[in-house]
């Protein structure tokens, strides 16, 4: 993990956005909230909206809901300057073990470890529910819960979605910024490449059929 401090310039970036930059508009996604119904981590990941319920913001829409109507990211993330940024967790190790060995117990242990990481308990009822999901479709359950456990590590979560195709609930939203194109397939190349590596950049764009947005084109070689 990356550790942060309490002094300006050394604090957690989300905390800094709110308390140093005056920005307080970090919302959680509708996809995440809908997937986490009954999940003990939801009150950690998100706060209730002004009506006292959990409501996520649709991803990538040109007409977002009013900020007061959706759930902000949890206070543990935006109000703690020392909240760490996790790069590779025990839960992720267990999910990898579960996938490699088709190991249901490792999958259950991964979910329990993720809950413990965020200070909550995966009780018997919750583990029974996620266990039943594994029995119904192991690949889908494992990849979906790994995606949830990667909350806070968006780059890795996006890569896992592209690699596995799960959560299946990640789809193009109505009134998308890019209607008809589906979910983005890649990160855009950084603008610095235009000046520093133009010839190779243009060759890569052509080879991978990357469009003008930079986020659509051929799938990565490892993606579903």
Q: What is the pLDDT of residues 164-220, one digit of tens each?
A: 999 999 999 999 999 999 999 999 999 999 999 999 999 999 999 999 999 999 999
Is the pLDDT confidence value at 6 over 90? yes
Average pLDDT for residues 16-34, to the nearest whole number?
A: 91
Q: How is the chain split into domains, by residue range?
A: 13-78, 90-164, 189-224
Is the pLDDT confidence value at 24 over 90? no
Helix 154-164 crosses helix 138-149 at what angle (to 10 degrees)?
Answer: 170
Torsion sign over Cα 51, 57, 58, 61 = positive
Q: What is the pLDDT of residue 123?
A: 97
Tokens for 154?
């968006």
3-class secondary structure, 73: strand
* Closest to 88 (Cα-Cα) out of 117, 115, 112, 127: 117
Alpha carbon separation from 106 to 132, 166, 168, 176 (Å, rounded): 14, 19, 22, 37
Report the C-alpha gap between 193 and 200 in whole angstroms. 9
Alpha carbon separation from 57 to 60, 67, 138 (Å, rounded): 9, 9, 28
């Amino acid at each position: 993990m990356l550790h942060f401090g309490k002094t300006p310039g050394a604090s957690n970036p989300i905390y800094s956005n709110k308390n140093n930059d005056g920005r307080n508009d970090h919302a959680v996604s509708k996809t995440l909230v809908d997937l986490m119904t009954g999940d003990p981590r939801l009150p950690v990941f998100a706060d209730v909206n002004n009506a006292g319920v959990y409501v996520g913001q649709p991803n990538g829409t040109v007409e977002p809901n009013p900020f007061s109507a959706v759930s902000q990211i949890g206070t543990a993330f935006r109000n703690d300057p020392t909240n760490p940024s996790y790069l590779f967790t025990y839960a992720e190790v267990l999910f990898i073990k579960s996938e490699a060995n088709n190991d249901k117990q490792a999958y259950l242990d991964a979910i329990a470890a993720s809950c413990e990481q965020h200070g909550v308990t995966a009780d018997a009822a919750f583990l029974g529910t996620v266990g039943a999901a594994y029995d119904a479709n192991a690949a889908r359950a494992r990849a979906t819960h790994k995606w949830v456990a990667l909350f806070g590590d968006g780059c890795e979560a996006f890569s896992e979605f592209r690699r596995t195709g799960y959560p299946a609930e990640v789809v193009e939203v109505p009134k998308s910024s890019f209607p008809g194109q589906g979910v983005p397939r890649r990160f855009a190349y950084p603008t610095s490449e235009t000046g520093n590596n133009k010839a190779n950049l243009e060759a890569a764009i052509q080879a991978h059929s990357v469009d003008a947005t930079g986020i659509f084109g051929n799938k990565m070689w490892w993606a579903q």
